[in-house]
C-alpha cells in the first residue's frame, strides 16, 4: 500500500516455522496454524499503514471526484500511494496526467511480480490470477521471506495475509472518511497528502542514486510547474529516473546505510 | 472532473496496477527482467513521489501556489522522517508544524 523503496527478498529474516504446518497433506489444525501465523506477521506491517489510510480517507471526502468513485479506488486499485495520487490529482490534473502518474507510482509492482513469478509456477491457475490482486508492498515483504513453505501452505499464508490487509485497509480508509467529514477546513488536512508523500520518499531512500532521483524529480517538477495540465509531474519523474539511473551506473548503487525501507 | 472521466480513470489505473502485479506471474515466469530495466525501475518511486509532492503543494496554480506554511510543514515531515524513519512521526511533525504556524501567523 505504501510506496517506493524496493525491499529485496534477501533482506528479510528467514524465520523458520516452529509449527509443522508445511506437511504434504495439511490437516485443518495445521491450516489454522498457518493462517494465524499469517495474521500475526501482518499486524506489525499494517500499523504503519493506518495513518496513511486515514489521510486517504480524508482525501477521498475532499476529492474532486464523486465520493463513491474516489472510494472505489480501494477495490479497483488497492495501492495507497496510487490511490492518494488519483483522488488528490482529480482537482487539477487532466485525465491523462492523472492516469500516467498513478500508473508510474505502481510500476514497482513489476519487480514484485518478477521476484515472485517462480513461486507461482507450481500454483493452481486460479491463484495465479487472484493472487496478484493483493500483491501490495506488505504482502510482498511477507511472502517473499517465506521460502521454506510448501506450495499449498505458501498459498494459504499468502491469501490470508492478502485478505487481512484488504479488509483492514478498507476499514481504516472508511474511518478516515468519517474523520475527514467532521474536521473543519481550517485544519488544512488537504496538506496531509503532500507531507505523506514527502515522508514516503525519505523512507524509500536506501542509496545515493535514490536521493539523486528524488531531488531531481522535485526540482525539475518545480521548474516545470507552469507546464499546462500538470505535465510537470511526468517531466520531473522522467528527469528523476534518468538522473537516478545515471547516478546508479556511476556510483554502482552505494548504500546509504544498512537500514532499508521499514515497511 | 466528470463522473465518467473519474470512473474511467479509476478503472484504467486499476487495470494498469493489476497488469503490473500479474503480468510476469502469468506470462513471463522464470524469465528475468533485463538488469538495466530493474535498475531504472528502482528510481521510479523516489522520482515520481517527490515530483508529486511538489505538484500537490502548488495545487495547480504554478509556483505561486506553494505557500510558506506548506513548505515548512513538508520540511518538518522530511526532517522527522530522516531522524525517526517512521511515517507516523513524519506525518505528525508535518501537520503539527502546519497547525502551529497557522495559529501564530
A186–B87 C-beta distance less than 8 A: no
End-to-end CA distance of chain A: 10
Query: Measured between CB atoms, does B83 come within 8 Å of chain A?
Result: no
User: What is residue A221's predicted lDDT score, i.e. its pLDDT?
Assistant: 94
B46–A192 C-beta distance less than 8 A: no
User: What is residue A253's predicted lDDT score, i.e. its pLDDT?
Assistant: 60
pLDDT tens across A213-246, in order? 999 999 999 999 988 777 888 899 999 999 999 9
Is residue B62 included in any domain, yes or no? no
A255 vs B3, residue with greater confidence: B3
Query: Which range (A10-19, A144-153, A174-183, B83-92) has the least confidence?
Result: A10-19
Name the residue facing A210 among B9, B40, B46 (closest C-beta): B46
The C-alpha atoms of residue A104 and residue A181 are separated, in whole angstroms, by 30
B18–A133 C-beta distance less than 8 A: yes
The C-alpha atoms of residue A91 and residue B5 are separated, in whole angstroms, by 12
Is residue B77 included in any domain, yes or no? no
Instruction: State the average pLDDT for chain A.
Output: 84
User: What is residue A99's predicted lDDT score, i.e. its pLDDT?
Assistant: 95
User: What is residue A262's predicted lDDT score, i.e. its pLDDT?
Assistant: 37
Contact A233, A101 (CB under 8 A): yes
User: What is residue A246's predicted lDDT score, i.e. its pLDDT?
Assistant: 95
Q: Closest chain A residue to B18 measured between Cα atoms? A: A133
Instruction: Classify burial at A130, counting beta carbons within 10 Å of its beta carbon; exposed 0-12, middle 13-18, buried 19 or more.
Output: middle
Name the residue facing A233 among B29, B41, B52 (closest C-beta): B52
B33 vs B5, residue with greater confidence: B5
Q: Closest chain B residue to A69 measured between Cα atoms? A: B7
Contact A109, B17 (CB under 8 A): yes
Name the residue facing A95 among B5, B58, B88 (closest C-beta): B5
- Is A209's pLDDT higher than 60? yes
Assembly ipTM: 0.88
User: What is residue B29's predicted lDDT score, i.e. its pLDDT?
Assistant: 55
Instruction: State the average pLDDT for chain B.
Output: 89
Range of the domain at B9: 1-31
- Is A15's pLDDT higher than 60? no
The C-alpha atoms of residue A170 and residue A84 are separated, in whole angstroms, by 14
Match 488544512 to its residue by C-alpha cell: A188
Query: Which range (A2-6, A206-210, B94-98) has the least confidence?
Result: A2-6
B60–A91 C-beta distance less than 8 A: yes
- Is A12's pLDDT higher than 60? no
B46 CB neighbours in chain A (<8 A) are 4, 201, 204-205, 210-211, 213-214, 217, 240, 244
Is residue B40 included in any domain, yes or no? no
Residue B40 bridge partners (DSSP): none
The C-alpha atoms of residue B39 and residue B59 are separated, in whole angstroms, by 31
User: What is residue A156's predicted lDDT score, i.e. its pLDDT?
Assistant: 95
Contact A106, A79 (CB under 8 A): yes
Name the residue facing B56 among A113, A197, A201 (closest C-beta): A197
B33 CB neighbours in chain A (<8 A) are 110-111, 114
**Shortest CA distance to B73 belongs to which of B53, B59, B55?**
B53
Rounded to the nearest angstrom, the minimum Cα separation between A30 and chain B is 27
Is residue B14 included in any domain, yes or no? yes
Across A234-261, average pLDDT: 80
Rounded to the nearest angstrom, the minimum Cα separation between A29 and chain B is 30
User: What is residue A263's predicted lDDT score, i.e. its pLDDT?
Assistant: 32
B8 CB neighbours in chain A (<8 A) are 95
pLDDT tens across A100-141, in order? 999 988 887 887 888 788 888 889 999 999 999 999 988 988
Is residue B71 included in any domain, yes or no? no
Three-state DSSP class for A203? helix
- Is A177's pLDDT higher than 90? yes
Percentage of chain A modeled with pLDDT above 70: 86
B102 CB neighbours in chain A (<8 A) are 186, 188
A108 CB neighbours in chain B (<8 A) are 41, 44-45
Match 510547474 to its residue by C-alpha cell: A225
B94 CB neighbours in chain A (<8 A) are 191-192, 195, 198-199
User: What is residue A7's predicted lDDT score, i.e. its pLDDT?
Assistant: 41
Total structural domains within chain B: 1
Is residue B20 included in any domain, yes or no? yes
User: What is residue A174's predicted lDDT score, i.e. its pLDDT?
Assistant: 95
User: What is residue B28's predicted lDDT score, i.e. its pLDDT?
Assistant: 67
- Is A14's pLDDT higher than 60? no
Is residue B16 included in any domain, yes or no? yes
The C-alpha atoms of residue B13 and residue A248 are separated, in whole angstroms, by 29
User: What is residue B70's predicted lDDT score, i.e. its pLDDT?
Assistant: 94
B87–A225 C-beta distance less than 8 A: no
Most confident of the following: A14-23, A83-92, A252-261, B60-69: A83-92
pLDDT tens across B19-70, in order? 999 988 888 656 677 888 888 888 888 898 899 899 889 877 778 888 999 9
Across A131-153, average pLDDT: 88
The C-alpha atoms of residue A61 and residue A179 are separated, in whole angstroms, by 9
Cell of A39: 495474521
A43 falls in which pLDDT band (50, 70, 90)? Answer: confident
A92–B59 C-beta distance less than 8 A: yes
Most confident of the following: A38-42, A45-49, A228-232: A38-42
User: What is residue B45's predicted lDDT score, i.e. its pLDDT?
Assistant: 83
Is residue B83 included in any domain, yes or no? no
Amino acid at each position: 500500500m505504501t510506496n517506493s523503496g524496493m525491499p529485496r527478498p534477501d533482506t528479510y529474516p528467514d524465520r523458520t516455522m516452529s509449527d509443522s504446518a508445511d506437511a504434504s497433506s495439511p490437516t485443518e489444525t495445521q491450516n489454522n496454524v498457518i493462517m494465524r501465523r499469517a495474521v500475526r506477521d501482518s499486524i506489525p506491517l499494517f500499523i504503519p499503514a493506518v495513518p496513511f489510510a486515514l489521510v486517504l480517507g480524508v482525501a477521498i471526502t475532499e476529492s474532486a471526484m464523486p465520493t463513491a468513485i474516489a472510494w472505489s479506488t480501494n477495490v479497483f486499485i488497492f495501492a495507497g500511494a496510487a490511490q492518494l495520487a488519483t483522488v488528490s490529482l482529480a482537482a487539477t490534473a487532466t485525465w491523462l496526467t492523472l492516469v500516467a502518474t498513478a500508473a508510474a507510482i505502481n510500476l514497482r509492482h513489476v519487480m514484485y511480480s518478477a521476484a515472485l513469478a517462480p513461486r507461482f509456477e507450481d500454483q493452481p491457475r486460479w491463484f495465479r490470477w487472484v493472487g496478484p490482486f493483493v500483491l501490495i508492498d506488505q504482502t510482498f515483504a511477507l511472502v517473499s521471506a517465506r521460502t521454506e513453505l510448501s506450495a499449498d501452505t505458501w498459498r494459504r499464508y499468502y491469501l490470508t495475509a492478502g485478505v487481512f490487509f484488504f479488509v483492514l485497509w478498507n476499514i481504516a480508509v472508511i474511518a478516515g472518511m468519517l474523520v475527514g467529514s467532521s474536521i473543519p477546513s481550517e485544519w488544512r488536512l488537504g496538506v496531509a497528502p503532500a507531507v505523506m508523500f514527502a515522508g514516503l520518499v525519505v523512507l524509500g531512500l536506501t542509496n545515493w542514486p535514490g536521493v539523486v532521483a528524488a531531488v531531481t524529480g522535485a526540482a525539475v517538477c518545480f521548474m516545470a510547474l507552469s507546464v499546462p495540465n500538470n505535465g510537470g509531474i511526468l517531466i520531473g519523474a522522467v528527469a528523476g529516473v534518468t538522473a537516478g539511473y545515471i547516478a546508479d551506473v556511476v556510483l554502482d548503487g552505494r548504500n546509504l546505510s544498512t537500514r532499508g525501507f521499514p515497511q | 472532473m466528470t463522473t465518467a472521466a473519474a470512473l474511467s480513470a479509476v478503472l484504467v489505473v486499476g487495470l494498469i496496477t493489476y497488469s503490473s502485479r500479474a503480468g510476469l506471474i502469468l506470462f513471463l515466469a522464470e524469465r528475468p527482467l533485463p538488469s538495466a530495466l530493474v535498475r531504472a525501475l528502482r528510481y521510479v518511486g523516489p522520482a515520481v513521489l517527490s515530483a508529486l509532492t511538489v505538484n500537490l503543494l502548488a495545487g495547480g496554480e504554478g509556483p505561486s501556489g506553494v505557500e510558506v506554511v506548506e513548505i515548512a510543514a513538508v520540511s518538518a515531515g522530511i526532517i522527522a522522517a530522516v531522524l525517526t524513519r517512521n511515517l507516523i512521526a513524519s506525518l505528525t511533525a508535518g501537520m503539527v508544524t502546519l497547525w502551529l504556524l497557522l495559529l501564530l501567523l
